[in-house]
Amino acid sequence: MMPWYKFLLLYLWIAPHVVLAVVAVLLLTKRLYTSFPAFVLYTWYEIAEFVVLFAIAVTGLSKGAWYVHVYLLTLAMSTALRFGVIQEVFDNVFREHGRVDALARVSLRWTTGFLLAAAVLCAIFASGQTSGSLIAGAAWVGRGVAIVQCGLVLFLLLFSRAFGLSLQSYVFGITLGFGILSSVELANWAMHTGELTESMARALNLLPTGGYHVAVLVWLGYLVVPERKILQTSNVPVGGVDKWNRELERFLQ
């Protein structure tokens, strides 16, 4: 392995978690654990996960098969926490918009169902094209999860923007970071389901950590810059929104 590549790989593994530690401290000092407890838990979990995996790698124990199981277990827990953060962001966005809350939640359920169906179809088609190894199986499962998460974040960005989510809010910063992270991981998992050359595999090894680095820097930037306003005044007519909600309640009964 080339020295510069090894250095870059090590940097992109360590640096994002160092920055994430700063993000975690800022979340505590700004008392944002009251508004974003799932995101605070996610940041501290990611730091702990890095410490464990880095210690395994440094001590030379990363060559055993059990390391793969530890990695996949921590990845599964991290994925579950991300879904919790996405739900938490949705709750924060629509907390002050009671009139559109029912519309937003129904739209979210339909969007989630559509994305889950798309993820299952992709997994079915991809399972016949990949090898039966544990890593290959995790690749197409991870791609399905990335489809759901990336789609939910995109839906949140579009939907919340339509109802006046401020670009300077912490909610938007968290969402933007996860949008970058989910998009990069979706591309990474999709490419890993095919046959790769050695040079392509090395390049893809840098993709998820590079995207993670950018996402963490986005979170840090939003925490350093003071938040101006969480939600701007919506331009949606009140009467129209009330009518939507009444129709939705009638439809769900």
- Between these two residues, 25 and 196, which has the higher pLDDT value? 25
Kindly report which listed range (93-102, 117-126, 140-149) carries the lowest average pLDDT score: 117-126
Q: In this predicted structure, what is the pLDDT of residue 231?
A: 47
Give the whole-number percent of the chain exceeding pLDDT 70: 60
Q: Which residues of 240-252 are buried (b: 16+ CB within 10 A; e: fewer)?
A: ebeebbeeeeeee
Q: In this predicted structure, what is the pLDDT of residue 3?
A: 78
- Between these two residues, 207 and 104, which has the higher pLDDT value? 207
Q: In this predicted structure, what is the pLDDT of residue 93?
A: 74
- Report whether pLDDT(207) > 60: yes
Q: What is d(CA 172, CA 175) in angstroms, rounded to the nearest whole number?
A: 5
Q: What is d(CA 107, CA 31) in angstroms, rounded to the nearest whole number?
A: 31
Structure tokens that stand for 147 in this block:
């489809």
H, E, C per residue of 47-82: HHHHHHHHHHHHCCCCCCHHHHHHHHHHHHHHHHHH
Q: In this predicted structure, what is the pLDDT of residue 114?
A: 59
Helix (H, G, I), strand (E, B) or coil at 231: strand
Q: What is d(CA 240, CA 243) in angstroms, rounded to the nearest whole number?
A: 5
Q: Which residues of 166-201 are buried (b: 16+ CB within 10 A; e: fewer)?
A: beebbbbbbbbbbbbbbbbbbbbbbbbbeeeeeeee
pLDDT digit string, tens, across residues 50-104: 999 888 888 876 666 677 778 778 887 888 888 888 888 877 776 655 545 555 5
Q: In this predicted structure, what is the pLDDT of residue 234?
A: 45
Give the whole-number percent of the chain exceeding pLDDT 90: 22
Q: Are 189 and 142 within 8 A, CB to CB?
A: yes
Long-range contacts for 44-48 (Cβ within 8 Å, ≥24 apart)? 45/77, 45/78, 45/81, 46/17, 46/20, 46/78, 47/17, 47/20, 47/21
Is pTM beyond 0.85 here? no
- Report the candidate in 189, 112, 190, 191 with the shortest Cα–Cα distance to residue 151: 112
Q: Which of 29-43, 177-191, 234-248 shows the highest mean pLDDT?
A: 29-43
Q: In this predicted structure, what is the pLDDT of residue 98?
A: 53
| First vs last C-alpha separation in the chain | 62
